[in-house]
Amino acid sequence: MTLPFRFLLIVIPILLLALMVVWLPRMDPVRSDPLVEQAASEVEPVPLTPAEQALDRDISRIGGTFSGHVGIAVQDLQAERTFHFNGLQLFPQQSVSKLWVTMTALDAVDRGNLDLAEPVVLRSADLTVFYQPVRRIVVRDGSFSSSYADLIDRAITQSDNTANDRILRRVGGPETVQDFLDSNGLASIRFGTDERTKQSAIAGLEWRQSYSVGPAFFDARDRVSDDVRRAAFESYLADPLDGAPPVAIAEALARLFKGDLLSAASTERLLGTLSRTKSGPRRLKAGAPESWLVRHKTGTGQFFDGEQSGYNDVGLITSPEGRTYAVAVMIARTRTPTPERMEMMQEVVRRTVAYDAAQYEGQASTGSPEDRPGASEETTP
């Protein structure tokens, strides 16, 4: 065998392997992680239109002038382009992570492993911490009989921690939720764990079921020394167990809207539920004109020493013409008063609306918001 021929036998397989590494991820864009996609787009950036340049500057200005550590991502689903500020960094999600629990449950429905009409009974042993409106019913009546469809509605629209954690246990726990994210190319989103475990750790505590009763959790937290609380608080913010990049969350919402994550029926159900979210009415939603449709999920973390952790709102906003944007605004930590945080979030939406008007001036409608997935109230459980 000649030397040149042996050389080709060695080199050709190496070249083929290199081509596979480079091109296979591109052949399945739905499964590629949004962080990889965004980083690649910034290595070889495509020229921006004047409207895109303006939105990019606006997002940088809003993020850069806010007093706190904030991450912002806005994805134009029509142009498949994302604009961001600190969008590749990990930010604590807090109750934004309820989205992934519900998606995992609906994926189980799609696979025939869960019937949303399945009965479920909540008792005192199921109660969690912080916001859980269902607790009043359990305390009053001793138990609460419901269905998983109802618990999903409560977890998303009311951000009920007990409803969310019961769904989480039914689908198989935190590992199952993370597997759902990983298998859909969203591994850069960390689910973390259940609310009881997470909130206790952030406070420097280990969970006890007695903390679910009355002010017991707050009383126990007050007894933790400042040194221990500070160490736990800073540890969480430095490496949040439920951390996610805003760019990845915006992409996940975009994939949900396009039907890439769930069946058509489950997509419709979740988008409809998000349109009825009651929490955070003065965050993203207050920045949108009344003619725009807003579907969103909030997240709010703990305070320590006057500093807020994990103050978030993420969602999909749709214009009267049917154009949709995925928006994620996530504050890791800040001492800024709440009204100023909400105003910052509203400004992100207002700048996105202004971008829509400039970028698509004179273009034909793609359908009204009411014609888009999830706009119908028929998805109410």
Number of helical (H) and strand (E) elements in the chain, helices listed first:
14, 10
In the prediction, which pLDDT does 362 show? 77
Residues 259 and 347 in one domain: yes
- For residues 91 and 101, membership in a common domain is answered with no
Same domain, 180 and 213: yes
Q: What is the mean pLDDT of residues 210-234?
A: 97
Both 219 and 256 in one domain: the answer is: no
How many residues can be counted in the chain? 381
Residues 374, 294 share a domain = yes
Task: Count CA atoms closer than 13 A to 372's CA, side-chain side.
Answer: 26
**Closest by alpha carbon to 274, among 375, 191, 190?**
375
Q: Could you tell me if residue 270 is inside a domain?
A: yes
Q: Which helix (H) or strand (E) covers residue 344, if one does? A: helix 338-359
Is 358 within a domain?
Answer: yes
Give the domain-ending residue among 184, 212, 238: 238
258 Cβ partners below 8 Å, 6+ apart? Answer: 77
Residue pair 85/62 in contact by the 8 Å Cβ criterion: yes
Which domain-ending residue is among 220, 238, 256?
238
**5 within some domain:** no
- 20 located within any domain: no
- Can you give the CATH number for the domain in which 253 is found? 3.40.710.10
- pLDDT of res. 43: 63
**Does residue 213 sit in the same domain as residue 83?**
no
Q: Where are the alpha helices (DSSP H) in 74-214?
A: 98-110, 134-141, 148-157, 161-171, 174-183, 195-202
- pLDDT value at position 369? 52
Instruction: For residues 117 and 119, give the distance between their C-alpha atoms in angstroms, rounded to a whole number.
Output: 6
Gap between the Cα atoms of 199 and 205, Å rounded: 8
The mean per-residue pLDDT over the stretch 202-227 comes to 97
Residues 255 and 292 in one domain: yes
Domain end residue (candidates: 222, 238, 254): 238
Report residue 140's pLDDT band, with 50, 70 and 90 as the boundaries: very high
Give the model confidence (pLDDT) of 349-379 as tens digits.
999 999 999 999 977 555 555 555 554 433 3
- Let me know if residue 2 belongs to a domain: no
The answer as to whether 41 is a domain residue is no
pLDDT value at 248 more than 60: yes
Judge if 101 and 86 occupy the same domain: no
- In the chain, the percentage of residues whose pLDDT exceeds 70 is 86
For residue 290, what are its two tokens? 């009344």
Asked whether residue 310 is domain-assigned, the answer is yes
Let me know if residue 90 belongs to a domain.
yes
Residue 374 three-state SS: coil
| Whether residue 230 is found in the same domain as residue 103 | yes
Q: Are residues 267 and 359 part of one domain? A: yes
Range of the domain at 303: 48-96+245-379
Task: Note whether 259 and 358 are same-domain residues.
Answer: yes
Total number of domains constituting the chain:
2
**Cα 14 to the center of its chain, rounded Å:** 40
Task: Give percent of the chain above pLDDT 90.
Answer: 82
* DSSP state letter for 305: T
**Do 112 and 53 fall within a single domain?**
no
C-alpha span between 182 and 170 (Å, rounded): 19
Dump pLDDT digits (tens) for 121-135. Answer: 999 999 999 999 999
